[in-house]
Structure 1
Amino acid sequence: MKTLPLAAYGFLGMPLAMVALPVYVQAPAWYAGHLGLALPVTGFVLFAARIFDTVQDPWLGRMIDVMARKTALGLALWLAAIVLALAFTGLWLPPIAGSTPALAGWLALMLALIYSAHSVLNITLLAWGARMTPDLPTLTRAAAWREASGLAGVVLASVLPVWLMTAAPWPPAQSMAVFAGGFALLLIMGLILLLHFAPLWPIRAGVPPARVRASPAVRRLWLPYLVNALSIAIPATLALFFIADRILKPQWAGLFLAVYFLSGAAGLPVWTRLAQRIGPARAWGCSMVLATSTFVWTIFLGAGDVLAYGAVCLLAGLALGADLALPPVLLARAIPPDADPAAHYGVWSLLAKLATAISGLALPLLAWLGYRPGVAGSGGSALGLVYGALPGVLKLLAFAILYFQVIAKEEQPA
């Protein structure tokens, strides 16, 4: 398959990634710090909204399959895109301010709309990629385009809001409005490319979706995917704390994160080719070994180890490319040909968000071990162990599960 249709398919990953990072990282500080909503209220609303976001995904996946069979998927996607663009703009420009129930309600409403619309678009994008072709090289190339676009969106979301707020001559609210406008334009462009220029999603129109029953091949992927996602989510949650209080270089955080994500994008072609040669499961396993053997060295890093930590970000970032691209390909090949894919990816999305929620427990664990944010050396080696060792153990566990449940079964004679 030619490159341009695959690039058209993957482009939507960029605006979807652009909206995710600000909602998770910048929105709490915006409401608690800039708009004056009480911190406990902000935290409760965020927690409730994320639980809602997690549990709704399997249902949304089922709904997408129904809309696809009724040939109404395009309409559903345009409706989701309009809701997402308006809600993302409204998140930064509430009509009220101060620590009031009305502002808390506005935050809850905007988050619910954003999470629902984003999930519809994201699950559809994954399911679309799973059904465009059964050809493994094309599946891996499509996944690489999608995840490379997503990483580009993460970088844009990391840089543009900060740049607009510091360099632009207008107030912060207008800066976020400009960012939201740019996001909306990219979202519209991505949806047009998907619907009109990407490889088609073959749908048996008019046939009611069958009841979703995960095959044994699909179920075998759930646990390694969840454990591996948790091994990624924990260091993502603690990265800024580690850079500030262990490396003692908080001003370098942006550069370290950029190296990590750009390395992930650079590694995508390597993992794609390796997956085509040895299979996506074995290639994913190789990336787990690489990530563990490099990230574990963070346990021994301390103040001023900038170059060493940069090297870890570079190598761990290369492994990230496989974590992003190959698991969806494995799921795509495991879903039976006559099954509806979106419901399966709804469960997949639930597992990823569950890992993110569980990773938040790393913070109270560190507090129990004596770590105090902003106090270098507090908690002894606790920060290094939870940030570096615990994810390594989880990554090795994910590799062991993947090997015995997936790779070993592939090697058995038919």
Structure 2
Amino acid sequence: MNPRMAAQMEAAPQGWSVSDGVRYGLLGLPLAFCALPLYVLMPNLYARHWGVSLAALGAVLLGARLLDAVIDPMLGRLCDRLYATSLGAVLALGAVAGAVLAVGFSFLFLPLVSEPTALLWWAGFWLVVTYAAYSALSVAHQSWGAMLGGDALYRSRVVAWREGLGLVGVLLAAVTPALLGVPAMLALLFAGLSVGWWAWRGAPQPERSHHAAAALTPMAPGALWHPLRNPDFRRLLGVYLLNGIASAIPATLVLFFLQDRLQASEAVQSTALGVYFVCGALSMPMWLRLVRHWGLAHSWRVGMLLSIAVFLGASRLGVGDAPWFLLVCALSGVALGSDLVFPGALLAGVIAKAGDRGLAEGAYFGWWNFATKLNLALAAGLALPLLGWLGYVPGARDADASVLLTAAYCFLPCGLKALAACALHILIIQPTAQPHTP
């Protein structure tokens, strides 16, 4: 690493206050608020309450999420060009994307059609619109945070504020539909996006010198593929993919597991989701303290191993064990905190190490979000149809259905998490000369 890259990687603004964290991270709250209903509640609602075929719904979700994933790198390049122009242009993109996101989300949960086939077409169209708006806003916001620079601990704090407030948004999304109904959920999303964008306008700004450099020396059209030429990024992306699908599968199946394996009440279902996300948010300070002693990659591996232990325990639960499942949710929520803080902080370090800070954050986060969406697409597009093909239908509570749900919800994620932990050790930790350098 040459001296310029090292200085770029370690340089940080003068401190990171609570006010800075709130102003930058607040937009993460409405983004996460809409993500939970889209990825967890919507499949359950369309299949269980509106009679849409599980296999057909899985195919629609797979198609929409794959299309969304494909456009993410292009949205990332668009963000890089806007950052090279002015921060105002980025904020304008955020305002437009937020408005489109709110409208698309509303139509998904208040459809104007009711026949199952029409519902599939309706969901497919509005999922594509909603996902695209969500992606544009997310990439722009994430790139802003990565451009702030700093050492491992500083980058972790930036990501922790964004993801921590995001968990507050998820918690609100978990309880709002059941307690206040869908209209209240939509009203909160509109308000959250408006306030979050307003706060973002006053957040700490990336250094202008980097944008000036990007404007004077724009990257070639092939810059879309530039992140994939970085071996450090490819290794980190591989670990992120394995770990991400391991997390996405239980997120897709959790309500089915609660309803059919544990036969839990709706109150327990809402409480379980709440405990999971509260513990994830509360775990952030603990993970930040671990960074001081173990570094980013080693701390992330601890989180993966904790998740494996927890889901192995969940496989032992059955009817009447809903209270024990709350403990599972608490511990897996703690593990979630590591998945939210460390990958993004590691990515910011990879960008800075390559000398791309202020030049290509959008491209990197475009591919990063591509991986996120691919994980979610594979989770819904493979797990749901596979369960349907093996004979499981929502509401089935016989022994065979219980075994299938346990295998898909517990054992499959454990295997993938174990692979991710091994990949993290082999690809990230072992090649690193200094333990605390990502």
Shorter chain as denominator, the TM-score bin is 0.7 to 0.9
Give the 3 Å change call, closer, same or farther, for CA 347–377 of structure 1 in structure 2: same
Counterpart residue identity of residue 239, structure 2: P
Q: Match for residue 191 of structure 2? A: 185
1:200 to 206, 211, 226: 206
Map residues 6-405 of structure 1 onto 2, 5 A cutoff: 6-27=21-42, 45-71=60-86, 72-93=89-110, 96-99=112-115, 107-165=123-181, 175-176=182-183, 178-200=184-206, 202=208, 203-205=210-212, 206-207=215-216, 208-209=218-219, 211=223, 212-214=225-227, 215-251=230-266, 252-335=268-351, 336-338=354-356, 339-360=359-380, 361-367=382-388, 369=390, 371-373=392-394, 374-379=396-401, 381-405=403-427
Counterpart residue identity of residue 363, structure 1: L
TM-score (norm 1): 0.88
Query: Is the CA contact (8 Å cut-off) linking 2:58 and 2:384 kept in structure 1?
Result: no
Give the 3 Å change call, closer, same or farther, for CA 63–27 of structure 1 in structure 2: same
- Cα deviation, residue 305, structure 1: 2.1
- Cα deviation, residue 97, structure 1: 3.1
Give the 3 Å change call, closer, same or farther, for CA 248–35 of structure 1 in structure 2: closer
Q: Which runs of 5+ in 2 are unaligned?
A: 1-14
Task: Give % identity.
Answer: 38
Counterpart residue identity of residue 403, structure 1: H
Query: Is the CA contact (8 Å cut-off) linking 2:55 and 2:384 kept in structure 1?
Result: no
- Cα deviation, residue 199, structure 1: 4.0
Deviates more, 1:340-349 or 1:238-247: 238-247
Matched residue SS, 1:197: coil
- Structure 1 distance, partners of 2:108, 2:399, is 37
TM-score (norm 2): 0.83
- Structure 2 distance, partners of 1:302, 1:296, is 13
- Cα deviation, residue 46, structure 1: 4.1
Deviations 1:289-337 (A, max 9, x none): 1111222112222222234322222111101100011101101101123
Q: Compute the RMSD of aligned alpha carbons.
A: 2.8
Query: Is the CA contact (8 Å cut-off) linking 1:287 and 1:323 kept in structure 2?
Result: yes
Deviates more, 1:363-372 or 1:324-333: 363-372
Counterpart residue identity of residue 383, structure 2: A
The structure with higher relative contact order (CA 8 Å, sep 6+) is: 2
> How many residues matched?
403
Deviations 1:196-225 (A, max 9, x none): 233436442323235242311111101111
Q: Which runs of 5+ in 1 are unaligned?
A: 166-174
Deviates more, 1:54-63 or 1:198-207: 198-207
- Structure 1 distance, partners of 2:64, 2:386, is 23
Query: Is the CA contact (8 Å cut-off) linking 2:315 and 2:410 kept in structure 1?
Result: yes
- Structure 1 distance, partners of 2:206, 2:411, is 44
Matched residue SS, 2:399: coil
- Structure 2 distance, partners of 1:238, 1:225, is 20
Give the 3 Å change call, closer, same or farther, for CA 36–190 of structure 1 in structure 2: same
Matched residue SS, 1:301: coil
Query: Is the CA contact (8 Å cut-off) linking 1:227 and 1:397 kept in structure 2?
Result: yes
Deviates more, 1:32-41 or 1:11-20: 32-41
Counterpart residue identity of residue 273, structure 1: R
Counterpart residue identity of residue 209, structure 1: M
Deviations 1:225-249 (A, max 9, x none): 1111111111112222222233232
- Structure 2 distance, partners of 1:405, 1:317, is 26
- Structure 2 distance, partners of 1:69, 1:92, is 37
- Cα deviation, residue 179, structure 1: 3.0
